[in-house]
Amino acid sequence: MNLFEWPVRVYYEDTDSGGVVYHSNYLRFMERARTEWLRALGFEQDALLMEHDCLFAVHSMQLNFRRPARFNDALTVKSELLAAGGASLQFEQLIYRKDELLCQATVRIACLDAQRFRPKPIPSFILTEMQRGW
């Protein structure tokens, strides 16, 4: 599963008074896509928390906004895992309207011990599933 795609519809609540997607909502769209990617691999974040004391959090992100998304647009968030190992993941995430690139992000995710909020190694059974797409 090297490239994962998730559809997103822009709702009125996602936009500013001009009908343009508010910049922070692109982050929400990307978060949903990463969550659905993890779910497609067979992992639910609440189960990882409860059963393995493991959670994933954004460590850093670099964004490039290219074109605005607007109310009622049908978007596709494309997520590609670029690197996985140790206690982190690196993604490239692209948001498209049809063939038009609207936003690009490089996202680094940290695997954390849920009790201490300290980095912990990504469990091997998760890494195995993630790396199958490579």
CA angle in degrees (0–180, nearest 5) for 119-59-79: 115
- Matching residue, tokens 């690196």: 90
What is the token pair recorded at 134? 């490579």
Catalytic-role residue among 16, 46, 99, 113: 16
Sign of CA dihedral 58, 38, 72, 74: positive
Question: Catalytic annotation on 73?
Answer: no
**Pairing between β-strand 54-65 and β-strand 3-9 as defined by DSSP bridges:** unpaired
Q: Which residues are known to be catalytic?
A: 16
